[in-house]
Amino acid sequence: MTDAPHIPVLLAEVIAALDVGAEAGSANQALIVDATFGAGGYARALLDRGAEVIAFDRDPGADPFARRLAQAYPDRFRLINRPFSELEAGLGDAGEDGCDGVVFDLGVSSMQLDEAERGFSFMRDGPLDMRMSQTGETAADLVNTAPEAELIRLFSLYGEEPTARRIAAGLVRRRSDTPFTRTLDLADTIERCVGGRRGAPTHPATRVFQALRIAVNDELDELESGLEAAERCLRPGGRLATVSFHSLEDRIVKGFLTERTGRLPSGSRHLPPVARGPEPSFSLKFTGAIGPQQTEIDANPRARSAKLRAAVRTDAPAWTSEPEGRRS
């Protein structure tokens, strides 16, 4: 574990979107949920500005970073080791009935990516694992047992991989002799399946690794549930900020905010009018998404695809009143 393992992305912009410090001097200290704690870059900045922070991370690897923050801020900081889809239950168990801000910084941390043993990277040899929570089915389990049609579906849907069929067929052929256990073996096999690198700027395994990571960690369902939970937990005037790193994540956030701000797609004059939903539960903090400045990309290339979106909770009821598992 290094001292500066993960450089927080769009930090100043995220803090501004959460409006922390706006309550300074008032009796009410803002309670902000950092739904993706990582190494705590956002949490520390929020605590430094006087907020109380409840953080979530499903990776037990976040614990050592949380212990340091808990020492520095014993009364204002807690880490809950649960997925953010359980944000509402986690807050409830912590004795809170709502919060003033929620931030999601999606995807993997530099610690997860850089540590070969976690199995996220096609650049480092390690076990084919990819589990953020370090429990459940691994990427190796998935690659070695999923039917070929399922692999095609995952690679196409979650990796937007144009040669999904060819890669899935190659992997199924290879695994019948020798199952996959290592990241570099999988990356090399994918490279052979597509006939080498052919001058492509990215490694041919990039999209398949993204797809496996999303599937193993159920990332897109987690995001949808997390946004809905944030909607239920945020008090009127509370702020939502999301930082996404690829189009699948951003599409979900954008779709959620389009719907919840009442800006439904206007539809076509050839189709029946789109029914209006309930009262908007959010208003946009700013239109569109904010990306990093060139100086940030130069200092931290991992920031290059980041997109920040932000919204403010209205006083309308949440559109979904209960977590999915409990709906009848």
Site residues for ligand SAM per CB under 6 A: 6, 8, 36, 38-42, 56-59, 62, 83-84, 105, 107-109, 132, 222
CA distance 292 to 265: 28
Which amino acid is residue 169, in one-letter code? A
CA distance 207 to 31: 37
Choice between 226 and 280, CB closer to ligand SAM: 226
Which amino acid is residue 45, in one-letter code? A
Choice between 60 and 273, CB closer to ligand SAM: 60
CA distance 229 to 232: 5
Upper half-sphere CA count for residue 304 (Cβ side, 13 Å)? 5
Give the nearest distance from C-beta 36 to ligand SAM in angstroms.
Answer: 3
Choice between 189 and 217, CB closer to ligand SAM: 217
Choice between 37 and 282, CB closer to ligand SAM: 37
Both tokens assigned to 269: 């004059």
CA distance 63 to 26: 32
**Quick one: how far is CA 233 from the chain centroid?**
18
Which segments of 74-205 does DSSP mark as H helices, in order?
A: 87-93, 110-114, 139-145, 148-159, 164-177, 183-193
Give the nearest distance from C-beta 300 to ligand SAM in angstroms.
Answer: 11
Give the nearest distance from C-beta 177 to ligand SAM in angstroms.
Answer: 34
CA distance 281 to 314: 5
CA distance 9 to 292: 8
Give the nearest distance from C-beta 217 to ligand SAM in angstroms.
Answer: 6
Give the nearest distance from C-beta 201 to ligand SAM in angstroms.
Answer: 23
Give the nearest distance from C-beta 90 to ligand SAM in angstroms.
Answer: 10
Give the nearest distance from C-beta 238 to ligand SAM in angstroms.
Answer: 19
Choice between 171 and 214, CB closer to ligand SAM: 214
Choice between 6 and 285, CB closer to ligand SAM: 6
CA dihedral for 183, 84, 305, 154, sign (positive or negative): positive
Direct distance between the N- and C-terminal alpha carbons of the chain, in angstroms, rounded to an integer: 45
Give the nearest distance from C-beta 131 to ligand SAM in angstroms.
Answer: 10
Choice between 178 and 293, CB closer to ligand SAM: 293
Choice between 62 and 99, CB closer to ligand SAM: 62
CA distance 274 to 116: 49
Q: At what angle do helices 148-159 and 206-216 cross, to 10 degrees?
A: 100
